[in-house]
Amino acid sequence: MTTMPSQSPQTVKLAVIQMHVTDQLDDNVGRAEEHVRDAARQGARVILLPELFENLYFCQVEREDYFALAHPQDGHPFIGRFQNLARELGVVLPLSYFERAGQAHYNSLVCIDADGEVLGNYRKTHIPDGPGYEEKYYFNPGDTGFKVWSTRYGRVGAGICWDQWYPETARVMMLQGADFLLYPTAIGSEPAEVESPNSHHMWQRAMVGHAVSNSSYVGAANRIGTEIVGGLTQTYYGHSFISDYTGELVAEFGDTDEGALIHDLNLAEARKFRAGMGFFRDRRPELYGPLLTVDGVTRRG
């Protein structure tokens, strides 16, 4: 069950971090910490790092060796470090990591509150499978359902990368009471043989659509730089952004910027606007049965 605070904050300063990544965990974690500290110095209270920032995006290829990068949540090599950091700085950190649970492996995210407490764990629901993004080889489909956490600075809803393309993800988190939506991601160029477009515009438009149809702020954090894994090369296109509750891009990085992208979220105004738009008033969930099927045919009995 998603719990909600008795009173939500009126405003919050959000930061999304855009950064390059190497094949050295200590290097990546240290750089991520410095970005978090810099964002906190600028007043950010909720700070989002990119997806799987601990290493190169190994899912370019299928290699058994990369399963060794996964760790259980308990005793994880860097979650505790970011708990201490969140407590020290008084910030909320939704944190992406590669999780091992028994014989299963997940693309996961913990939400660390401003006192350092881990509020819960989300396992990525939608797992892509295609050239350069071979995630089904590594990750079991998430089994947690979508999550919204009541933090010191509002109700945080977070999906992970491929989740960001699905309106169902955003809608469920908003129905669970999210004040704003966050998406850590790792996305960039496609292999030469892939026919789909290589454009950050489509990626942004999908999430801006969630902002509009849910009257919600949306923030996305991407990586940058060129990474070579298993002989394959991908260049990550950055363009991390924050959208307001009308779908306007109020803050955006380019394809090489590194650092903290920061914007003040007026949650009170967003709640007022959301109620006035009537999207949630006019929903007809009793007619949405086909959404619970694969082929659009609602079966009874």
pLDDT (tens digit per residue) in 284-299: 999 999 999 999 987 7
Whether the predicted model's global pTM rises above the 0.85 cut:
yes
* Position 2 in a domain: no
* Position 105 in a domain: yes
The total domain count for the chain is 1
Please state the rounded mean pLDDT for residues 77-88: 98
Instruction: Classify burial at 196, counting beta carbons within 10 Å of its beta carbon; exposed 0-12, middle 13-18, buried 19 or more.
Output: exposed
Q: Is the pLDDT reported for residue 63 higher than 60? A: yes
Work out the mean pLDDT of the chain and round it to a whole number.
95
Q: Is the pLDDT reported for residue 5 higher than 50? A: no
Instruction: Classify burial at 131, counting beta carbons within 10 Å of its beta carbon; exposed 0-12, middle 13-18, buried 19 or more.
Output: middle
Active-site residues, by number, are: 51, 124, 161
Looking at residue 186, its amino acid is A
Please state the rounded mean pLDDT for residues 14-35: 98
∠ CA 212-180-204, nearest 5°, is: 50
- The pLDDT, as a whole number, for residue 150 is 98
Task: Name the residue range of residue 39's domain.
Answer: 11-292
Straight-line distance from the first to the last Cα atom of the chain, in angstroms, rounded to the nearest whole number:
29
Q: Which two tokens stand for residue 166?
A: 């699905």
3-state helix vs strand vs coil in the chain, percent to 5: 30, 30, 40
Looking at residue 169, its amino acid is T
Q: 301 falls in which pLDDT band (50, 70, 90)?
A: low
* Position 112 in a domain: yes
User: C-alpha distances in angstroms, 242 versus 97, 182, 220, 265?
Assistant: 22, 9, 7, 10
Contact between residue 255 and residue 237 where contact means Cβ atoms under 8 Å apart = yes
* Position 119 in a domain: yes
* Position 205 in a domain: yes
Task: Summarize pLDDT for 240-249 with one digit per residue, the tens.
Answer: 999 999 999 9
For the chain, what percent of residues have pLDDT higher than 70? 97
Q: Is the pLDDT reported for residue 1 higher than 60? A: no
- The pLDDT, as a whole number, for residue 91 is 98
* Position 3 in a domain: no
* Position 4 in a domain: no
* Position 225 in a domain: yes
Q: 7 falls in which pLDDT band (50, 70, 90)?
A: low
Task: Summarize pLDDT for 188-240 with one digit per residue, the tens.
Answer: 998 877 777 778 999 999 999 999 999 999 999 999 999 999 999 999 999 99
User: C-alpha distances in angstroms, 6 versus 151, 264, 269?
Assistant: 12, 22, 18
For the chain, what percent of residues have pLDDT higher than 90? 92
- The pLDDT, as a whole number, for residue 197 is 74
Name the phi and psi angles at 164, rounded to 5. -70, -15
Task: Summarize pLDDT for 137-194 with one digit per residue, the tens.
Answer: 999 999 999 999 999 999 999 999 999 999 999 999 999 999 999 999 999 998 877 7
- The pLDDT, as a whole number, for residue 2 is 47
CATH number at 147 reads 3.60.110.10
